[in-house]
Amino acid sequence: MAAKKRPSELQPSLFDDPLEPPASATETLPQWDQIPLSAQVPIPPGTYRDLEQLEQHCRVCQRCELAANRTHVVVHRGNPKAKIVIVGEGPGENEDLQGLPFVGKSGQLLDKILASVGLDPERDTYICNVVKCRPPNNRVPTQEEMDACRPYLLEQIRLVDPWIILLTGATSVRSLLGDKRGITKIRGEWIQWQGRWCMPIFHPAYLLRNPDRAPGSPKWLMWQDIQAVKQKYLELAGTTPPQPDF
Ligand code: URA
């Protein structure tokens, strides 16, 4: 009998070139060999049993050209049981090197913003990106790349099952909601999507480029938005009465 290959040794494959299952998945995921690595073949909702399985698959993913230059696939950090999911655009240099999202300067600012309202990124949030591999020179991911990676994001959201989704910057809004409005137009607006509360917020990198804190500035607006997020979180947790809507 042929020796089982470890997932890290698996070659990406299509339906007609099946992926061999890791030993532990053989019984619980009989359709493992039908999980498509080609972007031409969709990944249906409900494909993954858990986030670990999704992550294993991302690690060997070749669904788009970003796979060619990655150091690491960047899947998530934070708490898989968190009620807040934060979606960034895509890994930068530090993220690609470390295999974790938002660990560079933008990530440090994101952590500070969360901490300013008492949210602990590792406990209270699950952080991920629209694309899991770094786009060259940090360019915006193409529509093709976003489409190839979108099923992973949708599965992450389904498996984490958050109350609130924070979309950082226009790219993540466009990728998840298909809304092409500019971020300055829609930031701070609650948008209901599939039974969840989504709020577009400024990308932390944008705040790093705009350090002014005066009323009406991007940083000031972010402060309003993150307070609204905390308020909604407490409301949904049932620990504070809803605020009057006027
Ligand atoms: N910017 C993002 O959008 N995501 C990261 O993970 C890092 C920087």
CA distance 173 to 200: 6
CB of 7 sitting under 6 A from ligand 1: no
pLDDT tens across 214-238, in order? 999 999 999 999 999 999 999 999 9
CB of 204 sitting under 6 A from ligand 1: no
**Which of 74, 89, 139 is the best mutation target for the ligand 1 pocket, counting ligand atoms within 8 Å of the beta carbon and taking the most?**
89
Residue 202 Cα to ligand 1 midpoint, Å, equals 12
CB of 78 sitting under 6 A from ligand 1: no
- Backbone phi and psi for residue 168, each to the nearest 5 degrees, phi listed first: -90, 110
Tokens standing for 78? Answer: 């934070």
Q: What is the mean pLDDT of each run of 10 residues along the chain (246 residues)?
A: 39 37 41 67 90 93 95 98 98 98 98 98 98 98 96 98 98 97 97 98 98 97 98 92 59
Tokens standing for 65? Answer: 């050209």
- 93 contacts 138 by C-beta, under 8 angstroms: yes
